[in-house]
Chains A and B, each alone.
Chain A
Amino acid sequence: MKKLILLFICFTTVFIARSQTIVQGFIEDKRGNPIQFASVSIKDSYDGTIADSIGHYAFSTFETGEKIFVVNCLGYKPYEQAIMLIKDSTVNLNITMKEAINELAAVTITAGSFEANDKKRSAVLKPLDIVTTAGANADISGALQTLPGAQRVGESEGLFIRGGSAEESKIIIDGTVVNKFFFSSVPGIAQRGRFSPFLFSSTAFSTGGYSALYGQALSAVLNLESVDLPERSEAQAGISPIFGFAGFQKVSKSKKISWGTSYSYSNLTLYMKMVPQKQDFFKAPSGHNVDFNFRYKTKKGIIKLYSYYTSNGIGLRSPSLDSTGLKNMFSLSNANFFTNASWKHLFGRNWKWYNVASFSYNDDKIKNELQNSNNERVPVTGITSLDMSSFNIRSFETMSQFRSVLDKKLNALNAIRFGGEVWYNKNKSKYSFYYGDFDVPIDETYSAAFVESDIYLSNRLAFRPGVRYEYSDLSMRSSIAPRLSLSYSVSKPSQFSFDYGIFYQTPDRKYLTQNANFKPMRADHYILTFQHLSEFYTFRSQVYYKDYKNLLKTDPSNQFAVSTDGHGYAKGFELFWRDKKTIKGLDYWVSYSWLDTKREYLNFPIFTQPTFSAEHTGSVVIKKFWLKHMFGINWSFNWATGRPYYNPNKPSSEYLSDRTPFYSSNNFSFNWIKNIKKTTAVFVVGINNVFAQEQIFSYTYSSLPDDNGVYQRDNLTPPAKMSFFVGIFMSWGVDRSQQNINGNL
Chain B
Amino acid sequence: MKTLFLLVATVLGASTLNAQSKYESGMTKAMAQFEAAKTPAELLSSSAMFERIADAEKDEWLPYYYAALTNNMASWMDEKADKDKMAEKSIALVEKAELIEGSNASELYCMRNMIASSQMMVDPMSRWQTYGMEAGKALENAKKADPNNPRIYFLEGQAIFNTPEAFGGGKKNAKPYFEKSVALYETFVPASPMHPKWGKEEASEMLKQCNQ
Contact = CB atoms under 8 A, between A and B. Distances in A.
A384 to B, nearest CB: 57
A48 B53 CA distance: 10
A707 interface: no
A742 interface: yes
Interface in B74-94: 82, 84-86, 88-89
Interface string B46-86: 00110111011000000000000000000000000010111
Interface string A492-534: 0000000000000000000000000000000000000000000
A429 B44 CA distance: 70
A740 B125 contact: no
24 contacts: A4-B4, A5-B3, A8-B8, A41-B52, A44-B55, A104-B82, A105-B85, A118-B130, A128-B125, A231-B133, A627-B164, A680-B167, A737-B163, A738-B132, A738-B133, A739-B128, A739-B132, A739-B167, A739-B168, A740-B135, A740-B136, A741-B128, A742-B124, A744-B124
Nearest to B50: A46
A674 B166 CA distance: 6
A200 interface: no
B56 to A, nearest CB: 5
B210 interface: no
B117 interface: yes
B186 interface: no
Contacts of B166: 629-630, 673-675
Interface in B113-167: 117, 120-130, 132-133, 135-136, 159-160, 162-167
Interface residues of A, number: 45
A5 B53 contact: no
Contact of B162 (A5, A118, A740): A740
B7 interface: yes
A673 B165 CA distance: 11
Given A46-B26, A741-B125, 14 more contacts: A8-B8, A41-B55, A46-B22, A46-B56, A74-B85, A123-B123, A126-B125, A630-B164, A737-B160, A737-B168, A740-B120, A743-B162, A743-B164, A744-B124
A602 B169 CA distance: 60
B45 interface: yes
Contacts of A12: 11
A104 B85 contact: yes
A49 B45 contact: yes
9 closest Cβ contacts across the A-B interface? A630-B166, A39-B48, A736-B168, A740-B132, A736-B167, A742-B124, A737-B168, A738-B136, A41-B52
A499 B133 CA distance: 38
Contact of A8 (B1, B4, B48, B89): B4
A128 B130 CA distance: 16
Interface in A1-57: 1, 4-5, 8, 12, 37, 39, 41, 43-50
Interface residues of B, number: 51
Contacts of B165: 628
Contacts of B183: none
Contact of B163 (A5, A47, A674, A741): A741
A737 B48 contact: no
B204 interface: no
Contacts of A278: none
B103 interface: no
B41 to A, nearest CB: 7
Contact of B126 (A74, A126, A736): A126
B167 A741 contact: yes
B123 A121 contact: yes
Interface string A726-745: 00000000001111111111
A744 B166 CA distance: 15
Contacts of B51: 39
A75 interface: yes
A372 B210 CA distance: 74
Nearest to B127: A118
B18 to A, nearest CB: 9
A348 B160 CA distance: 41
B164 A737 contact: no
A45 B85 CA distance: 26
Interface string B87-112: 01100000000000000000000000
B34 to A, nearest CB: 14
Contacts of B11: 12
B85 A50 contact: no
Given A74-B89, A737-B173, A740-B117, A45 B52 contact: yes
Contacts of B123: 118, 121, 123, 535
B126 A43 contact: no
Contacts of B52: 39, 41, 45-48
Interface string A72-112: 00110000000000000000000000000000110000000
Contacts of B125: 126, 128, 741, 745
B55 A740 contact: no
Nearest to A40: B48
A464 B164 CA distance: 44
Nearest to B71: A74
A330 B172 CA distance: 59
B126 A48 contact: no
B3 to A, nearest CB: 7
